[in-house]
Amino acid sequence: MHSFDRQLISGHSLRIHKKFEGSAMELLGETVRSCVEDSGVKFDRIDGLITTYLPGVFDGKTYLHFFTNQLRQYLGIRARFVECLDFGGASALSMIYRATKAVAAGEADNVLCVLGGKGSEVRSRGVTVDGFDGVDPGVTLTPFDSLLRNYVDLNPVSDYALVAQRHSFLFGTEDRQRALLAVKQRKNALNNESALYRDPLTEEAVLSSPMVCDPLHMLEAVYPVDGFHTFLVSRNSPRNMDIDVLAYGEAHWHELPPELPDIVTTPASESSKRANFELSKVDCFQLYDSFTITVMLQLEDIGLTKKGGAGKLVEESDFSPSGDIPLNTGGGSLNMGQPAYMSGGVILEEAIEQLSGEASGRQVQGAKVAYVNGIGGWNRSHSVTLVIGEPR
């Protein structure tokens, strides 16, 4: 069924490699062409671009001056609407929202949303994207780096480890409960042909994988890969999918984690309230999964359980596509890999595949509403809640 006079997702595509030998621009071009082909929109009708980037992920470059120019110059897009968002993985969800707004307002007809890059370029330098100041002093992470960057850390892992440790202290959350979440997500990945990791996984294997920052083990953390996700939002394209934005909320917190009342609550507690969507009407949840603890924080913050209840919820729930809480139904980025240190495209793509009936082998039967929540920043400053589904 086609929808007209609506601004909806007309195309989507992804390309993910453990390591892509060519340039990030080349991988970007391939992903965009596939997305545009999927949409049926003529390439020269694309008149909008929303994107984001992090230091290092475009062929190791620290800063690309006039970033949206550089992408458009490479791809060949003459635009009347461009925007570069700046909140990591959660940016992907805002791209869709803002693209639909721009198209509805007549500011553009076809807005291309792009997120990705090459994680391998950062990894090969022996740092994470949040430690890139270690290889380029021109990069700053906060306005307080002179007091902050004198210590041994491994952010974002170490910062999330502080949260996991405190979560255990306050609520008695156990390592095996986080491990069980990783196991349940892996079970979902077994049925996803696109997943990078598709071997069965046990709690014991998670808990015996190397400790990165205690209590977080290697198999509780995403692996940074090379890849892009692209989405096209169009006005009246014949291939527009019946997927609309049903609810939306953003929250961007300013405190450094030590300055928060506590570190176990994320801005998802606020963005989800702003979206204010009845959870009983949701058919699947796609929650940002940079680490096991990230998912557990969101299970609490969006209201699926009370604060501190995630460990028990993980034990008691069936997260499979036919379960009581279908969660990260494609295995999430823990099993897909995290392109360019941002998981937002992974969870958004899975939501779209579920809603369009394309989730072969892992389809949530009759899925009409997907609840997607993204978290951004090494210190969880950003949260975006996006509920998409059948237009009302």
Partner 1 sequence: MKLTLNGIMEYYRSHFDRGVLCFIRCDDCSNVFYYPRDGCPRCGSVSLTLCESSGRGTVFSYTKVHRKGVPDAVYAIVELDEGFRLYTNIENSEPSVGSHVEVFMRETNRGKMPFFRMIKDSPDPQ
Q: Can you give the binding site for partner 1, defined by CB under 8 A?
A: 126, 142-144, 146-148, 150-154, 158, 161-163, 165-166, 169, 210-216, 254-259, 263
Minimum Å gap between C-beta 215 and partner 1 is 8
Instruction: Give the DSSP letter of residue 265.
Output: -
32 vs 264, which CB is nearer to partner 1? 264
Residue located via tokens 């509805």: 104
Minimum Å gap between C-beta 279 and partner 1 is 29
248: β partners: 386
Strands (DSSP E) along the chain, which ranges? 7-17, 48-52, 81-85, 110-118, 211-213, 216-217, 224-235, 244-252, 284-287, 338-339, 369-376, 382-389
Taking CA atoms, 245 is separated from 191, 242, 335, 351, in Å, by: 27, 10, 27, 12
232: β partners: 11, 112
And the tokens for 41?
Answer: 């929109």
Minimum Å gap between C-beta 297 and partner 1 is 14
- Which amino acid does the sequence have at 176? R
Minimum Å gap between C-beta 224 and partner 1 is 16
11 vs 131, which CB is nearer to partner 1? 131
1 vs 152, which CB is nearer to partner 1? 152
Q: How far is CA 391 from the centre of its chain?
A: 23
116 vs 267, which CB is nearer to partner 1? 267
Minimum Å gap between C-beta 294 and partner 1 is 15
17 vs 166, which CB is nearer to partner 1? 166
Minimum Å gap between C-beta 293 and partner 1 is 11
Minimum Å gap between C-beta 143 and partner 1 is 8
The interaxial angle of helices 268-275 and 292-301, nearest 10 deg, is: 40
259 vs 278, which CB is nearer to partner 1? 259
Taking CA atoms, 239 is separated from 1, 35, 60, in Å, by: 9, 12, 37
CA–CA dist 45, 64 (Å, integer): 26
Minimum Å gap between C-beta 130 and partner 1 is 13
- Which amino acid does the sequence have at 78? R
193 vs 255, which CB is nearer to partner 1? 255
Helix, coil or strand: residue 146: helix
CA–CA dist 108, 233 (Å, integer): 10
136 vs 153, which CB is nearer to partner 1? 153
Q: How far is CA 363 from the centre of its chain?
A: 20
224 vs 339, which CB is nearer to partner 1? 224
CA–CA dist 291, 222 (Å, integer): 6
From the list 40, 47, 31, 51, the residue with the least C-alpha distance to 103 is 47
Minimum Å gap between C-beta 125 and partner 1 is 13
And the tokens for 71?
Answer: 């992408």
